[in-house]
């Protein structure tokens, strides 16, 4: 009997010792400390499960394009979002079409609409936004009544990407300096590959246009030519931005790598380390300049990353707000008027996020 007790004691002591040793080997974030510092996210009235595609302000209100267009006042403390009443954008059955892109250009607002059945679509514009908006269809033949998948504003030009939905489909790029007449960028008849982003390198006075697997550049949009470097990974590109603060062109990829070039693309070098989460490469998206030393990079499923000083990349750290931490980010918007420096993040299925002090990870608000 005594021997059994001694054996049991040694088994128990060994088990406890083993447990103790293994308990000291973990190095992930301190959970209790994280909980202690977690703040409840302020949540305004916008549906948190919305997919928000793009965002603008007219100085009086903010507008979020999420199929329907929603607006709220820019005034501090404004919490209530309402739906805009849109007219002039009905399909054949009289149903209001869905807005999936909304940008401001030369004091006017341009939007891409598509009907729920996908059969009716087009580029529309309006002189002013508000609680009700009257839209006017673009008259330019190649844009009017066509499916517009992307609208980009770059260096005083409005770029519209048209998808011709014949199998397998072809994307076309059109550009305009006045928003009325458009010209096709013929070098980018890209077959089934979407045109996703564009930038202007101020130092070299050259445009850069990105498809999912190619880069084009040229001193004007009519003379774009394909560049071979950096080579797109099999997963494709994510976004492009030129930073005057760092005098550098940044290109993101879908396999966790961000490239930088300070000689207009003659030579590229990787910025920071390859971004991985649980050994999976992070699929990057587009960029946004936040301030003179900070650039945000969107991801598809991992919130956003931050480029600091032009050389270091790190993931947004506040994992307690999983709606943003694990978000698929469609686009950023940085307010340069009413609330200077406030950043808005449009997500796919996780609503809209905002932060008046974007370098503070704990200050995000769920709109």
Partner 1 sequence: MKRIDRFILTFTLLIIPAITVVAQDSGKQNPELGAVYSLGDQTLSINGGLFVPLFFQEFTGAVHVTNLTPGGVGSLQWNTYLKRNITLGIEVGGVFAFSPNFNMLLLLPITVKASYIFTYFPFDFPVFLGTGIDIAKYQDNIHVDFMLKPGFSTYWRYNTSWSFGVNTVYWWILQPATGNQPKDEGRMGNFLEISLSALYHF
Distance (Å, whole) CA 240 – CA 364: 25
- Indicate the burial class of 339 (C-beta count within 10 angstroms; 0-12, 13-18, 19 or more): middle
Q: Is 180 in the site for partner 1 (CB under 8 A)?
A: no
In whole angstroms, what separates CA 286 from the centre of its chain? 5
Contacts of 250 (CB under 8 A, 6+ apart): 240, 241, 242, 243, 258, 259, 260, 271, 287, 295, 307
Question: What's the DSSP call for residue 31?
Answer: H
Q: Tell the smallest beta-carbon distance from residue 279 to partner 1 (Å).
A: 13
Q: Is 312 in the site for partner 1 (CB under 8 A)?
A: no
Q: Is 203 in the site for partner 1 (CB under 8 A)?
A: no
Q: Is 22 in the site for partner 1 (CB under 8 A)?
A: yes
Q: Is 3 in the site for partner 1 (CB under 8 A)?
A: no
Q: Tell the smallest beta-carbon distance from residue 305 to partner 1 (Å).
A: 15
Q: Is 41 in the site for partner 1 (CB under 8 A)?
A: yes
Distance (Å, whole) CA 51 – CA 98: 12
- Contact region with partner 1 (CB under 8 A), list: 8-16, 147-155, 291-299, 305-313: 8-16
Distance (Å, whole) CA 148 – CA 161: 6
Specify the length of the chain in residues. Answer: 367
Site for partner 1 in 240-279 (CB under 8 A): 277
Nearest C-alpha neighbor of 243 from the set 302, 202, 186: 202
Dihedral over alpha carbons 180, 102, 245, 269 (to 10 degrees): -100
- Contact region with partner 1 (CB under 8 A), list: 36-44, 60-68, 192-200, 305-313: 36-44
**Given the complex with partner 1, which of 175 and 325 has the nearer CB atom?**
325
Q: Tell the smallest beta-carbon distance from residue 14 to partner 1 (Å).
A: 10
Evaluate whether 60 touches 73 at the Cβ level (below 8 Å): yes
| 116, 119, 322, 337: which one binds partner 1 (CB under 8 A) | 322
Gap between the terminal Cα atoms of the chain? 68
Q: Is 15 in the site for partner 1 (CB under 8 A)?
A: yes
Q: Tell the smallest beta-carbon distance from residue 322 to partner 1 (Å).
A: 6
Q: Tell the smallest beta-carbon distance from residue 112 to partner 1 (Å).
A: 34
In 10 A of CB 276, how many CB atoms? 12
- Contact region with partner 1 (CB under 8 A), list: 24-32, 126-134, 220-228, 288-296: 24-32
Q: Is 92 in the site for partner 1 (CB under 8 A)?
A: no
Nearest C-alpha neighbor of 48 from the set 340, 348, 311, 357: 348
| 3, 20, 132, 279: which one binds partner 1 (CB under 8 A) | 20
Q: Tell the smallest beta-carbon distance from residue 43 to partner 1 (Å).
A: 10
Residue ranges binding partner 1 (CB under 8 A): 1, 4-5, 8-9, 12-13, 15-17, 19-20, 22-36, 38-41, 277, 319-322, 325
């Amino acid at each position: 009997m005594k021997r059994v007790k001694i054996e049991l004691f040694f088994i128990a002591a060994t088990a406890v010792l083993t447990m103790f040793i293994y308990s000291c080997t973990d190095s992930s974030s301190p959970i209790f400390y994280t909980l202690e510092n977690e703040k409840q996210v302020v949540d305004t009235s916008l549906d948190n499960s919305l997919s928000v595609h793009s965002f603008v302000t007219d100085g009086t209100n903010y507008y979020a394009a999420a199929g329907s267009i929603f607006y709220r006042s820019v005034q501090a403390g404004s919490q209530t979002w309402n739906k805009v009443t849109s007219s002039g954008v009905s399909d054949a059955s009289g149903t209001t079409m869905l807005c999936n892109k909304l940008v401001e250009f030369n004091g006017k607002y341009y939007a891409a609409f598509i009907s729920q059945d996908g059969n009716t679509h087009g580029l529309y514009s309006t002189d002013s936004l508000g609680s009700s908006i009257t839209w006017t269809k673009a008259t330019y033949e190649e844009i009017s009544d066509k499916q517009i998948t992307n609208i980009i504003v770059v260096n005083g030009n409005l770029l519209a990407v048209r998808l011709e939905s014949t199998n397998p489909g072809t994307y076309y790029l059109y550009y305009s300096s006045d928003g009325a007449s458009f010209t096709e960028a013929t070098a980018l008849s890209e077959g089934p590959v979407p045109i996703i982003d564009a930038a202007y390198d101020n130092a070299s006075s050259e445009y850069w246009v990105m498809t999912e697997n190619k880069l084009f550049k040229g001193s004007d949009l009519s003379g774009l030519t394909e560049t071979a470097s950096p080579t797109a990974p099999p997963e494709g590109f994510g976004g492009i931005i030129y930073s005057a603060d760092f005098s550098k062109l940044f290109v993101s990829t879908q396999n966790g790598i961000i490239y930088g070039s300070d000689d207009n693309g003659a030579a590229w070098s990787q910025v920071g380390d390859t971004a991985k989460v649980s050994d999976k490469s992070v699929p990057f998206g587009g960029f946004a300049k936040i301030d003179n030393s900070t650039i945000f990079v969107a991801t598809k499923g991992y919130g956003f990353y931050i480029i600091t000083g032009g050389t270091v990349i790190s993931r947004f750290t506040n994992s307690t707000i999983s709606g943003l931490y694990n978000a698929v980010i469609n686009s950023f918007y940085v307010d340069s008027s009413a609330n200077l420096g406030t950043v808005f993040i449009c997500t796919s299925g996780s609503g809209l996020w905002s932060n008046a002090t974007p370098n503070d990870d704990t200050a995000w608000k769920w709109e």
